[in-house]
Structure 1
């Protein structure tokens, strides 16, 4: 099948494939739209079943970054890259340097950053081969702590701000006593759990890896849940913080929560899921709006002049943006994901 015929192609500007046999690298870069500026999006390393699955993921993620940057009021376009392989087994410094050469080959059309399976040390290796690597010279931290280039703290804080705003809009409540089920206890999920615990929420957590779950149980008094049971819990909030398509034909009928608000990209298996959630009375926080903290962080690190306070203010605005989406959703009688898409398109198409 041609890339142009792919169901997720959506008029991407540039899709590039790269293979370096010696370094063991098979990777794809997708640039969706650069109307607002150069494309920025993280590099993900994952043991995809095949190249077709990897292509679907990178196309969906790249498009999401266009919408994410637009809704976060950033002068950036959308792109993404994926490396096919198990980051716990296959990753090497040579592979990361080869990935840097791949990014460099696009001549600044695309900047990469950290994502699932990629650490700051990996970006530093890429940066030996390219100047288009973001997140390696961090200066600002939303909470005044030492900045190390990892955008996960800002992502988690932004999701926390957005989740709090969504719960407030849906129920009029604070987070004290609110029950939240978190799917995925990685770098972002764990930090989100910490914010929620400090705000008085009751936590239920799951992950395919036990370490993060055990840590949340130990540190936050969370309840461990089997992965297959997380969406059926009778809780106030479901927070998908793992891979995409968590809200699908199988999980949707199980949902008892009144709010879906999490860090994962592409949480809806299909756009129509937004309408189905609305019909069930579930308020959905559009993923690329609520999880924009990472790209906001990277944007500020690239600015010649910013500050910890400016970064935090930008992250706090995620809650304001979400409430504007919910108000327009109620006014127009449309699903929140559809409203967010329209608002984002109004912004980046205006510069086209």
Structure 2
């Protein structure tokens, strides 16, 4: 049963939706709405089983609760997954059908773009539900959130390098970027422009070839790039890349990337700490996209204001690092505690100030 799943974590709502005509098989998970309506992306992925999809959506949904709390947003945590290959199975009709599933929740969940979905898909969903963000059209439309995610990760990576390596410059540092999609590709460009030397990987050969041609990057297979001889490892593909074996093989001093749920299990955070590897908690460093989407959800989209809020991510990370150092605890554990404190304060009716400002 879902209630007995290790990742259930007292989710408020789990909705399974299907549409035989389009082949839609979708799951929406709403983890916590203490801060506001749940907001999180819709991921389309060819999961090997329904159980794998359930596990992913539960972990991602909880991560969105923590991400929105740490970013100081008036939004709860939720996520959706569509089971299928976005390159072969996805149709506009399927996306409209998913929009109808979202509409059933009456605004308790607001969907947005994620791995395997696009701004065009959000437009299609928007024909069936009002509860979608990341649209391309309209006075408050925020568009593709991935550049904002990448910008926040770039700034957060610099903050982690400053804390662990004692330098404000990325010039000459070796950075391994795993995943060159919308976010990873954008991050690779910013790193190259800052003078970093890149090692890259992706499951798509054309993306790797572009990075080699544009940035002089060297390459490694996706399953081996975590062990590259680099200063920073930036996971920007799917999650659970950090586990007992991969952590033992890491050469990097810093892990700072855009992927969600990078830790396969919670104890991995302690393994990283014991090895002296500074981990930038994923839901803190990759919050730029949801910050952008939130401005649209709140009908107050202002690109400059969004950028200013994204630029607070390094301050939030600095506070996480400071507390972790002071307590001798993993950064992942410290960030979780900070997020839970904010959620508890919201449930108790107490105001919780934007955590992104604690170190300013």
Q: RMSD in angstroms over aligned alpha carbons?
A: 1.4
Partner of 2:198: 203
Shift of 1:265: 0.3
Question: Which runs of at least 4 in structure 1 moved beyond 4 Å after TM superposition?
Answer: 137-141
Shift of 1:137: 4.8
Q: Does 1:270 align with 2:265?
A: yes
SS at match of 1:227: coil
Question: What is the alpha-carbon distance in structure 1 between the residues aligned to residue 186 and residue 216 of structure 2?
Answer: 14
**Structure 2 unaligned blocks of 5 or more:** 348-360
Partner of 2:45: 46
Contact 2:96–2:127, Cα closer than 8 Å, also in 1: yes
Question: What is the alpha-carbon distance in structure 2 between the residues aligned to residue 134 and residue 44 of structure 1?
Answer: 14
Question: What is the alpha-carbon distance in structure 1 between the residues aligned to residue 290 and residue 233 of structure 2?
Answer: 23
Using structure 2 for the length normalisation, give the TM-score: 0.94
SS at match of 1:134: coil
Q: Does 1:34 align with 2:33?
A: yes
User: Mapping of 1:216-227 within 5 angstroms?
Assistant: 216-227=211-222
User: Mapping of 1:274-293 within 5 angstroms?
Assistant: 274-293=269-288
Shift of 1:138: 6.2
Q: Assess, with a 3 A threshold, how the Cα gap between structure 1 residues 140 and 214 changes in structure 2: closer, same or farther.
A: farther
Contact 1:138–1:301, Cα closer than 8 Å, also in 2: no
User: Residue deviations 1:233-290, cap 9 Å, x none?
Assistant: 1100000001110001221111010000000000001110011100000000000000
Question: What is the alpha-carbon distance in structure 2 between the residues aligned to residue 22 and residue 343 of structure 1?
Answer: 45
Q: Does 1:171 align with 2:165?
A: yes
Shift of 1:148: 6.4
Match of 1:347 among 337, 342, 355: 342
User: Residue deviations 1:202-246, cap 9 Å, x none?
Assistant: 100001111111111111111111223211111000000011100
Shift of 1:171: 0.8
SS at match of 1:324: helix
Partner of 2:322: 327
Question: What is the alpha-carbon distance in structure 1 between the residues aligned to residue 95 and residue 226 of structure 2?
Answer: 36
Question: What is the alpha-carbon distance in structure 2 between the residues aligned to residue 204 and residue 148 of structure 1?
Answer: 32
Question: What is the alpha-carbon distance in structure 1 between the residues aligned to residue 215 and residue 138 of structure 2?
Answer: 30
Comparing 302-311 and 323-332, the one that deviates more: 302-311
Partner of 2:87: 88
Contact 1:178–1:201, Cα closer than 8 Å, also in 2: yes
Q: Does 1:155 align with 2:155?
A: no
Partner of 2:18: 19
SS at match of 1:203: strand
**Corresponding pairs, count:** 346
Contact 1:140–1:300, Cα closer than 8 Å, also in 2: no
